[in-house]
A and B are shown apart, each in its own frame.
Chain A
Amino acid sequence: MLLEVQDTGITSMLGENLKKFVQFTGFANATWGNVLMILIGLVFITLAIKKKWEPLLLIPIGFGMIIGNIPLFPNLGVGIYEKGSVYNILYQGVQQGFYPPLIFLGIGAMTDFSALISNPKLMLIGAAAQFGIFGAYSLALTFGFSPAEAGAIGIIGGADGPTAIFLSSRLAPDLLGAIAVSAYSYMALVPVIQPPIMRLLTTKKERLIRMKPPREVSPTEKRVFPIVGFLMTAMTVPSALPLLGMLFFGNLLKESGVTRRLAETARGPLIDIVTILIGLTVGCSSQADKFLQFRSVLIFLLGAGSFIIATTTGVLFVKLFNIFLKPENKINPLIGNAGVSAVPDSARVSNNVGLEYDSKNYLLMHAMGPNVSGVIGSAVAAGILLGFLG
């Protein structure tokens, strides 16, 4: 009799436990939203592998989306939004905004500003392309977003993933996932979005303009640039200090000539580690219940708008600028698109489109000028937005 009772107890206990276990599984808690987000993650991974579109970003983001959309039973202590969980700890770099400056350190250590130093007027093209940010800001306001949210959305037009994450973590933490995924997606799509706009806005004669080869830049000039550049920009917009400070510091490590090991670490292992963590956690943060909203769709549309505006204003600004330049100093408007700071993708687009019309007109070095000034410009713009709306 006693045995019977024990048997029943164990059976029922096992049954209960099994039932609980089944209730705890992702299969039992999955929603259509989770499934859809996992599929989007798979699409990202496929695009990265098959099409080679920004694989360094799309693979971590894509896999992060899959991780983030595994349905969890509350209080399991493993989800990205559960305090103290591993993913939550890693996500602090995004939430507190310390990953983006570290990425900027790496970008600084790998960027050669020679093209910009040799022809400083190209900096203005980088400034003109920032119209994309404020155009998208105005559009976002029209669609009913608050000024802070609109600022965070607008920065997608800067084509700078780390800056977008940095700003949205401060201005609109709720929209961080959608903004980050949108910014990185459009950065990957630069070769698709920009060329039609560039062709549309330029004449054949303009596309054939050959620019003067850039002069040789002395090591002293390269060393002075990060110091003077930092002082001038950070003094103007102190709120962009985390980004500008790290960018120029990284560049000084590269150009000083005496800190090769530090520069190599910054542009190598450090930026790789941070890219892995930022990509994975941003992907993880895009949980279906947060991500699959009408607002996310709007953010995607506004992101496309901001890229189009940035490319358009960049190209049109060069055309306008050419009116005031001597014939021998004319700038090829095909480098106008490079003002968005997707380094070096947008400069590569300028070069490729240029070569389509003149197989010996290499625009890459010229386009790198506005491209790197776009990085500075978008960091300054982020600082302004933070100062006004933060």
Chain B
Amino acid sequence: MNKTRIILTLGLIFGFYSISNAQNTSDMRINEVVVHNTNGYEDEYGQRSGWLELFNTSNNIVNIGGCYLSDDRNNLLKYRIPKRNPVVKVQPLQHILFFADSNSQKGVLHLNFKVTCGGHIYLTSSDGKMLVDSLAIPSAMEDDQSYGRLTDGKGSYERETFMRRSSNSEKWFAKYSANGGWGYLPYPTPNAYNTVEKGNSTAKQLAKYDPHGGIMALTAMSVVFMALIVLSIVFYFIGKNSVKRNKKKKMKTEEISTVKPVAGESLPGAIEKETVAAIAMALHMFLKNDGPHDVENTVLTIKTKSSPWSSKIFTLRQTPCFKRK
């Protein structure tokens, strides 16, 4: 009885794990592909090759380690995405990009095949049986042209085709090749949302309506001038105010200095003559020729003078020394 329970529990755990795993990887979608990458995204070696992008449609991290990518329907297990590599854990609603450079020795994200016009891409789950997603690449793609989902991870037939897959794979492929929601993107968006166009749309419009940059130059220079003109006006007035205040201060000081002290009395706040003389004498003594300066004339440095008070030897405790007679 106990044995049966244990087996059942283990079976349930295994079943739950495999289902959850399958659900996880099934959230992945092929999202974008570039076949001829001539001026676009570079790999970590600074080289360009065709690439394909997957998108995690779920709100959980999906580990695609162990899944397979292929360009051959008869060999769906062509490239096995290595397990236990943090790179292959795809964050929620984020992308992972593979370079299709037919050089998997370069790293985890480099496939052992190339993407071609008119070819296919297949993403298969880690059990090697369940086809997660597939893409039929258009037969004609220009340099740096990108084909992808118009909205990340979304395509009109994806759910239906996924369910039909197990019963009739041929039908699945046929149906999927006519998948909606795909199209040529205005520009490649490697590792970024396909729908994020706001930033560059202004640039695109500028390229269209302002091919020589005249409007841009005028607008931008107006802003630069405006910012600095406003700043200069503000500081013109701050400066004027400051000059006025300085003048007032100066006048006050002059007024004080013109007030003559009554015989035998000193001005409020004024220093006694004797004190001034004492300070001057102290400074003179301190700064006289063989005084504190050593090298630099303008820097006051205090020369150390050896005296019993500052000497290390004098202040150190003497080790008692007993001589044998």
Binding site for B on A (CB under 8 A): 74-75, 79, 81-83, 88, 116-118, 120-121, 123-124, 126-128, 130-131, 133-135, 137-138, 141-142, 146-148, 150, 174, 215, 217-218, 220-221, 224-225, 228-229, 232-233, 236-237, 287, 289-290, 373, 376-377, 380-381, 384-385, 388-390
B236 at the interface (CB under 8 A from A): yes
Q: Which residues of A contact B105 (CB under 8 A)?
A: 74-75
| Interface mask (B143-165 → A, CB under 8 Å = 1, otherwise 0) | 00000000000000000000000
B183 at the interface (CB under 8 A from A): no
Q: Are A138 and B213 in contact (CB under 8 A)?
A: yes
Q: In the complex the two chains form, what is the Cα distance from A236 to B69 in whole Å?
A: 49
B302 at the interface (CB under 8 A from A): no
Q: Are B212 and A138 in contact (CB under 8 A)?
A: yes
B227 at the interface (CB under 8 A from A): yes
Q: Which residues of A contact B213 (CB under 8 A)?
A: 134, 137-138, 141, 147, 150
B295 at the interface (CB under 8 A from A): no
Within the complex, the shortest CB–CB distance from B248 to chain A, in Å, comes to 13
14 pairs of residues in contact across A and B, judged by CB atoms under 8 Å: A127-B224, A134-B213, A138-B212, A150-B213, A217-B242, A220-B242, A376-B228, A384-B224, A385-B220, A388-B203, A388-B206, A388-B216, A388-B220, A389-B206
Q: Are A79 and B217 in contact (CB under 8 A)?
A: no
New A-B contacts (16) at CB < 8 Å, excluding given A174-B39, A221-B242, A228-B234: A74-B105, A75-B105, A75-B106, A79-B45, A81-B42, A118-B239, A120-B239, A127-B221, A127-B228, A133-B220, A137-B217, A148-B203, A221-B239, A224-B238, A384-B224, A388-B206
Q: Are B230 and A131 in contact (CB under 8 A)?
A: no
Q: Which residues of B contact A133 (CB under 8 A)?
A: 220
B299 at the interface (CB under 8 A from A): no
Q: Are B221 and A130 in contact (CB under 8 A)?
A: yes
Q: Are B229 and A124 in contact (CB under 8 A)?
A: yes
Within the complex, the shortest CB–CB distance from A114 to chain B, in Å, comes to 11
Q: Are A218 and B242 in contact (CB under 8 A)?
A: yes
Within the complex, the shortest CB–CB distance from B107 to chain A, in Å, comes to 7
Q: Are B227 and A380 in contact (CB under 8 A)?
A: yes
Q: Are B238 and A221 in contact (CB under 8 A)?
A: yes
B contact patch SS: helix
Query: Given A229-B231, A287-B46, A388-B216, are A148 and B200 neighbors across the interface (CB < 8 Å)?
Result: yes
Q: In the complex the two chains form, what is the Cα distance from A150 to B206 in whole Å?
A: 12
Q: Are A75 and B107 in contact (CB under 8 A)?
A: yes
Within the complex, the shortest CB–CB distance from A341 to chain B, in Å, comes to 12
B274 at the interface (CB under 8 A from A): no
| Interface mask (B196-227 → A, CB under 8 Å = 1, otherwise 0) | 00011011001100011110110111011111
B281 at the interface (CB under 8 A from A): no
Q: In the complex the two chains form, what is the Cα distance from A220 to B249 in whole Å?
A: 14
Q: In the complex the two chains form, what is the Cα distance from A367 to B32 in whole Å?
A: 54
Interface residue from B39, B44, B224 paired with A377 (Cβ < 8 Å): B224
In the complex formed, the residue of B with least CB distance to A133 is: B220
Interface residue from B107, B202, B230 paired with A388 (Cβ < 8 Å): B202
Q: Which residues of A contact B211 (CB under 8 A)?
A: 141
Interface residue from A75, A127, A134 paired with B217 (Cβ < 8 Å): A134
Q: Are B202 and A74 in contact (CB under 8 A)?
A: no
B23 at the interface (CB under 8 A from A): no
In the complex formed, the residue of A with least CB distance to B214 is: A138
Q: In the complex the two chains form, what is the Cα distance from A376 to B225 in whole Å?
A: 11
